[in-house]
Structure 1
Amino acid sequence: MSEPRLSLSGERFTAVYRLTATAADVEARARAICLEQTVEFPAALIPNEAIRAQIVGTLAEILPCSGSGSGDEDAHGFEVSIRYPVEAAGRELTQLLNVLFGNVALQPGVRLLRIELPPALLRHYRGPRFGIAGLRQRLGVADRPLLCTALKPMGLSPSALAELAYRLARGGIDLIKDDHGLSDQTFCRFDERVSRCAEAVARANQETGRASLYLPNVTAPADEIAARAARACGSGAGGLLLCPGLTGLDGLRRLAADDQLGLPILSHPALLGGLSLGPRQGIAHGLLFGTLVRLAGADATIFPSFGGRFAFTASECQEIAAAARMPLDGLPPIWPVPAGGMRLEQVPELVRFYGHDSMLLIGGDLHAEGDLAARCQAFLSLVEQTPKQTPND
């Protein structure tokens, strides 16, 4: 029986990589990626011209990266654009990621900078259910940054965390999430914590007239995520927290697409940092924390802001915020959530930098002076009093 004739659409998507290579070697390295990320097969042994012409990635452009040399006078940075057939990615997020960066993630001197996806691919991804506009509507907050905090520290009982959640909601915090370290530990079981905290926030909302949301952490073993999310929804949770670095981005996509849940999802960056920190390795900050989590369905993306206890620079944070909110073929823009040791005194600067369509996450500093209610009110006053202006994105 003869092999069926290969006949693809010819439509392609683009990945832009930064390669650290010499000028003499960069084209050969780029063409090797074209093969590695598709057929993973020696070019000379490809069995027919149809596979070579339709499946193998095509090298579109090589440009030098200005001011981004490696420090070695013989090795420099180049931006390399490679185009892959849309059919190679199929309709699965897992396979799209595999084509973009699967094997070459193992090679030194390769960083995935940007992607350009045509409608033929984007139509497979629902993306965020709420995004910026939808979450504003759900919270009844029209025109200011949102306030977010975490229930901590680990070691408090479910009843103690519920009392804390009540006080935070009474104080005016919009989103009260589990700390990402809260799971289903023996000292703080998931079901009891979620039930008590959801009830506490609902009680506070009845008293204040606000619509604060409690978001439990549903990061869990793969076969337990959906069940925990369903129980959280049934207990009255207002949203969900997930760590896609721990569960995989497709775990996030599955939750976001579940119409039985229909809850906003906050993406936490645990374990993702290792994919982004090296300037010549991994995935660019905006693509990882902005575009990819948005494609997977997050409504808001937490990342460590400059000025905190982590190493992200202002330009990297700007890149994330821009990717979270830039036009993406109809997918709603999502909330950038700068975090990581932020303090109340930084709030005006953060609002000016990120703009009003941002969610500010302050954790431990709310507890710094003992009067939690006063600190929450100060947080709210600071975001309300900072003049609205165009953000640096």
Structure 2
Amino acid sequence: MPRLSNIYRLGVKELWSLWRDPGLLLLIVYTFTAALYIAATAAPEGLHRAAIAIVDEDDSALSARIVTAFYPPQFAPPARITPAEVDATLDAGTYTFVLDIPPDFQRDVLAGRGPQVQLAVDATRMSQAFTGSGWIQQIVLGEVGEFLQRYRGSAASPVEVTVRQRFNQALDPTWFGSISELANNITMLSIILTGAALIREREHGTVEHLLVMPVTPTEIMLSKVWAMGLIVMLATLVSLTVVIKGALGVRIEGSLGLFLCCAALHLFATTSMGIFMATLARSMPQFGLLLMLTLIPLELLSGAITPRESMPDAVRYLMSLAPTTHFVSLSQAILFRGAGFAIAWPSMLALAAIGSVLFGLSLARFRKTIVQMV
């Protein structure tokens, strides 16, 4: 049986080794502060001051209504350009949208002729192009409808649909982005720290020192798991309180203690995964390449970026065996929806089972590596 004193002392050694590595310390601080804040705020899903220009060839009261219907924060104040400038400004990327109102537009609308308005879109700005096209169509059709009715307002409907936004009433994309980025960063740092700890010992020759000590491979692995897991847990707690709740203003609905328990189970799995990958790699560059091949599928297919419901059944089943899938689900359920233990325990049990399997595989591989070194 592993001795707790050996596990504790070896873990303290790992903490001191990390303290003497300024590169990894800087990576931890940056990942859980600036990188998280930038990822949550740099690329919002909605429109924000989208660049739009309007070619008003009608110069009527209706076209003036349409021009004044675009304003911040969704759109930047529209610029007035001529038809000859459309292609040049789109090629230069000056505007994302160019709306062309044809001559005699108001007269044709009043006569019921169904005139056409052309909307040119720079589709290289994919997110704004997709969302903004729908907004512009609604704005133009709404202004035309109100102009024909001679008053602002919509016709009475026999059915009233009441929409209530739960968990994110303002539909602020930074709320979702910050929690998703936190889950991804926890996975990434836990794998990097444990893998780097093992490879660093191999490169410095300290693994041979451990082999002559009265310690077992299980004790060595457990020491790395608890030490690196503790660092990530502390960084997660600071990031939640200072960056997510403080700087971004995200309201945490659920129990912070329950989330940290789930994070501990997830770290047990991912730190074991990091040790397994470190036994496969011969150097840090090889470990970095292997990390890229592992992290990208884990992040893209875990549900943190793309909803799992839109994935093929085979991918959904395969990713149900990955710890990140269950951790992302738990993070969103606890921090967004205030879920308690009664809802979280199936995913927590799955994390514990996956972590045990990964720890067993990593331990077997680690023992084999030690035998080869001897």
TM-score scaled by length of structure 1: 0.22
The structure that has the greater radius of gyration is 2
Q: RCO (CA 8 Å, sep 6+): is it higher in 1 or 2?
A: 2
TM-score scaled by length of structure 2: 0.22
Specify which structure has the higher proportion of strand. Answer: 1
Specify which structure has the higher proportion of helix. Answer: 2
